[in-house]
Amino acid sequence: MAGACALLAALTAGLAFPAGAAADEPAGRDAPKVNLLLDVSGSMRAKDIDGQSRMAAAKQAFNEVLDATPEEVELGIRTLGADYAGDDRKEGCKDTAQLYPVGPLDRTEAKTAVATLAPTGWTPIGPALLKAADDLGGGDGSKRIVLISDGEDTCAPLDPCEVAREIAAKGIGLTIDTLGLVPNAKLSRQLSCIAEATGGTYASVEHQDELTDRVNELVDRAAEPVVTPVAVQGADACAKAPTVESGLYTDREEFGQQRWYRVELLAGQELRASVSVAADRAVRPDHGVLLRAVTVHGREIVRGEAAGNGRTDVLSTGLRYPKPERDDDDGDKPAAEVVCLAVTHSFSADAGVKTTPGLPLELTVDVVDGPDGASDVASFGLGRGWWLLGALVVTGFVAGLLWGWLSRWRFAVWRTH
């Protein structure tokens, strides 16, 4: 069973990034840039993360992240609240500094800089975001800020949500991801709002290893090939759905909604599709995503589904459908088949959480030449890989019968002696 799950997981991963997707990436892009923005305010002294202070956990996580940063990523570190320990709010709200400049990474130098940090002052998130955006400069490579904080901004009226919206409005392709070190509702709302404004993600982490894993994931994400998705608006029924070709598409899907898209498939071709739905705001822990391929008459061909428990903010699944070669009686090839793709998710939110716009959805469609000799079984969506799984099941069943018969025979021989 574990092997079958691993096989399906690998299939889904392969569908999420089809071989031809990277071909759309413009050549000669600038290096991806990441700016880690760390809260070093006085509250980071609290010892509630695996028996150590929040600051110690952040330092350990940063050291591991610096070791794992891909060579092609230009990385920098900015602090907020690291230098001014006084009571003058005006001065405290200026307290943000570039600890390590965004550029090619010298791991030893960056770690030495991180080691000097000590929890000190205020929490000027808004001013720090403006400076962090400037640190990244121009260029056409991906740009990402990862904000890590244990408290809300203390420098209103410069609202960090408004700052994030202002950054997004500049159209510089900058994404802000946020991580909260305290399970606090007001902090979660603020950090979710900042992330949502730029299409980023928010997560709450309470353990050092979770913090390390999450920051590593976000840094790695910056290094992934940049493919510009095409905006599309799915319909609420197959008959009204837009027709999509091979490519990457983006849409929004509200809670309790279903989105439909149409794909034309010729005999001998194979449809590979995947979908990812991101929780860009606070949602309840248990959720799922379902992607179905359906005929225009409503018969389900194949489906892909995935479930989550709140430990990740993106849920993905995929499917494959090979349409076999068939000739009509007069020898002509049959007309293209229209396959309807239906996307459904079961994310839900507590009262007070915005339901519009819907959650961001990315749909990948790839229509390729199918495998030679695709079988009738495959045409119903089972896929050729299921023959191997079926053979393993039959082999296991036969082996079980033989083992049971051998055990009974040995027991009978033992009793006679």
Domains along the sequence of the chain with CATH: 30-223 (3.40.50.410), 230-379 (2.60.120.380)
Those residues with Cβ within 8 angstroms of residue 230's Cβ, 6 or more apart along the chain or in another chain:
247, 248, 249, 250
Does the structure show a pLDDT above 90 at 83? yes
Residue with more model confidence, 256 or 55: 55
Does the structure show a pLDDT above 80 at 413? no
> Bridge-partner residues for 308, per DSSP?
287
pLDDT, tens digit, for every residue of 192-251? 889 888 878 888 999 999 999 999 999 998 887 766 678 899 999 999 999 999 988 989
C-alpha distances in Å from residue 164, one per residue of 1, 146, 170, 221, 370: 45, 13, 10, 20, 45
Q: What is the pTM of this model?
A: 0.56
Does the structure show a pLDDT above 70 at 387? no
pLDDT, tens digit, for every residue of 319-356? 989 877 655 555 555 568 999 999 999 988 888 888 88
**CB-CB contact of 196 with 172 (8 Å):** no
Half-sphere exposure in the Cβ direction for 314 (13 Å, CA): 17
Determine the Cα–Cα distance for residues 345 and 206; give it in Å rounded to an integer. Answer: 27
| Residue found under tokens 């609420």 | 236
Strands 247-253 and 230-231 come out as parallel
